Each structure stands twice: as C-alpha cells, then as structure tokens.
Amino acid sequence: MNFKITIVVLLAVLACCNASVQSSKDLGDFLLGVVEGLEFTVSSHAKTCIQDTTHTIDDFKSAYESIDHGMDAKSAHDILDGMKDFGKALVEVPIIYEECGVTKFVSEIKSLASKLEEGDAGVIEVIIKELVNIFHHSHDLTDYFKDAIADEKKGSYTSFGINVGKIVGILLKD
C-alpha cells in the first residue's frame, strides 16, 4: 500500500516539475518572439540565456485570458483589468533581458509596465460599441491583441510573443 502511495506522489511531483519546465521553455519562446516583434536582434548567447529562463509564462497567459474574456463580454473594465495584469507580467521582461545582457528597450519596457500595472488611463483606450476596439494614440491595437490571444490559445508562444512585441512597440511610441 505504501509503495502505491509513493509511486502516486512521485508521478504527481514529476508532472508538476514537467509543467514548470515546459512553462519556462514557453516563456523563453515568448520572450524571443517579443524581441522579434520589437524588431531588434540579440546575440546568440542572449538567445540561449533567454531560452534557459526559469521564469514561467503563466502571468502572461492569465493576462491575455482576462483580456480575451473582456473582449468576449464587451467589458471595458475586464479588458483594463487584463491590461493591469499584462503590466504586472511585463515587469519580468526587463529583468530577464538584463540577466541575459540585453539592454535595448529595457528602461522603456520598465516604464510601460509600470504605467499599465497602475492602470494609467493615457496608455490604452478601450471603445466598445458593436465591436471592441483597443487604441493607443489613434493606433488600433485590436487585431494584434486578437492574434496574440489566438496564438496563446494554440500554444504558439513565439508568435504570441511577436504580437505582444508589436503591441509593446506601438505603446512605446508616444
């Protein structure tokens, strides 16, 4: 009996650890996608370092699931809550980039993450009529968000990152 319990516990631990390792790999793919979406390059050493991150993608997934829910429910409040969650997740990006020797856009991403996390009204405008539209200074970001959400749902984390990188790039332009 104790042997069976031990095996069940070991299998549970292995499943948990494997999910965490996969989530870290997914974040590495996502972060390299963000680099591509922002249209800059990093060294092969930095790429390897980013791929080897031990951080997880869970906060980004949660943020985009909240934004998706808000878009489906046509709720500006839920979308803006998702944007705050996105800001909280985005805080980790400059930390990981700096750990890997990437300096480009680090201070700008830190500032943007802080503004999103605080719910700064000047960053994102959500307009809900028959459709949901998300704007930043007249730039329509809706399709990028929809594409990012679709990529996240498919588990296509590099493409998810590319779309998020495009969003971040537009948000960094004032």
Q: DSSP string spanning 3-56?
A: HHHHHHHHHHHHHHHHHHHHHHHHHHHHHHHHHHHTT----HHHHHHHHT----
Residue 19 has pLDDT above 70, yes or no: no
Per the domain annotation, does 28 fall within a domain? Answer: yes
- Token code pair at residue 54: 């031990």
* Predicted TM-score of the model (pTM): 0.79
Give the number of domains in the chain.
1
Residue that wins the pLDDT comparison between 10 and 134: 134
In a domain, 2, yes or no: no
CA distances from 137 to 13, 108, 121 (A): 48, 17, 12
In this structure, is residue 3 part of a structural domain? no
Q: Which domain holds residue 111?
A: 22-172
In a domain, 103, yes or no: yes
- 160 vs 19, residue with greater confidence: 160
